[in-house]
Amino acid sequence: MITNPTRQRALRGHKPTRPHPRVANTAEHQAVLAWRLTPRDRWIARMLWEHRVLTAHQITALAFTGARTAQLRLRELYTWGVVDRFQPFVTVGTAPMHYVLAPAGAAALAAEDGLDAKELGYRHDRVFGIAHSLRLAHTVGVNEWFTALVDRARHPRPGKQVALTAWWSETRCARHFGDLVRPDGYGRWHDGDRQVEWFLEYDFGTEVLTKLAAKLTGYAALAQATGITTPLLVWLPTARREATARRLLQRIWHELEDPRTVPVATAAAELLNPDSAHPSPADEVWLPLDAPAGGAQRRTLAALPDAWPHLPPPVTSGGDDTHRPDSPHPRIPPPPPMPPAVTPLGASQPGKE
């Protein structure tokens, strides 16, 4: 749950899975997969390649209407070698199954893009390395944050049309902006005729807050280099830690040459309503950094631009190049059960228009 993410210290090892027969990744098997894989299967494989690891719960929320249907299909994809799985050992309870891209799935994606697996950059050992990474909990937490937005878009309130139209991974952000900043993600949210884009800094309570605040200088440098103002959202685990972070962020923010180029808002996970059917970062939990002290009202994600009147609307660019495999911002079609507007990767590149 986004309101109670699993901490890294709770992951102590990995439970061995029961033996399960799998199909060898041969040329003949690839030919069989050509008619076995549905558009949703290919979409799941591409999401795993983009975001490294997704839990069974996250995949269910992203692409299926029920847990049983998701479980059966994921088992088939595992048997066919399209996905791999592992289950971290937790000190209390049982962790959900975690899925990564397997060789047969990588070969299918590469062929779809007119590449081979090496050109795609896929290596099985590196992909499975996330299972032992000290950043596993952080990566899963970031993906849960965006998954909660997709889940909200799939279950909108009556009369509301909402969609997460862009979702970039930390790896993709680093590839484009790594010389200046390395955000944990980039996203764009549509709510009716409103839209907002942002960079995300996801704090798990383990990073030194002075280091987090110091990142504002990098975002200011990016805004100056591109001439584009993109809000920064800082997500923290508790309201107490948020209050401490805000003091440090405000100190650095006021020292920037032009603070208006780095709009910042903070929120805490514990502010979400745990009794809500679909709690998400779209809720009324955001507090702009420059809000007046005392009595400031928190805002929904869609209402954040109202706090920054100088902020221009996000610039979107279309064109046939967005569908090319070598495009820096490929468009991934949504799986059939999802609303057509939900596209995990945007059709435009933040800070690059």
DSSP of 112-180: HTT--HHHHT--HHHHHGGGG-TTHHHHHHHHHHHHHHHHHHHSPPTT--EEEEEEE-HHHHHHHHTTT
Same domain assignment for residues 157 and 289: yes
Residue 123 pLDDT grade (very low, low, confident, very high; cuts 50, 70, 90): very high
Residue 349 included in any domain:
no
Same domain assignment for residues 130 and 195: no
Q: What is the pLDDT of residues 86-119, one digit of tens each?
A: 999 888 888 999 999 999 999 999 999 999 888 9
Domain termination site, one of 77, 99, 134 = 134
- For the chain, what is the domain count? 2
What's the CA gap between 253 and 318, in Å, rounded?
34
Same domain assignment for residues 157 and 278: yes
Q: What is the pLDDT of residues 148-158, one digit of tens each?
A: 999 999 988 88
Same domain assignment for residues 158 and 278: yes
Same domain assignment for residues 130 and 156: no
Residue 109 included in any domain:
yes
Q: Find out whether 185 and 67 touch, Cβ atoms under 8 Å.
A: no
Same domain assignment for residues 59 and 157: no
Same domain assignment for residues 45 and 192: no
Q: What DSSP line would sit under 321-346, residue for residue?
A: GGGSTT-SS---PPPTTS-TT--SS-
Residue 183 included in any domain:
yes
From 109-123, 159-173, 198-212, 321-335, the region with the lowest mean pLDDT: 321-335
Residue 343 included in any domain:
no
Q: Which domain holds residue 222?
A: 152-307
- Domain of 95: which CATH number? 1.10.10.10
Same domain assignment for residues 302 and 157: yes
Residue 157 included in any domain:
yes
Same domain assignment for residues 51 and 192: no
Same domain assignment for residues 110 and 72: yes
Same domain assignment for residues 64 and 194: no
Question: Residue 186: pLDDT above 70?
Answer: yes
Higher pLDDT, residue 280 or 11: 280
Residue 193 included in any domain:
yes
Same domain assignment for residues 165 and 47: no
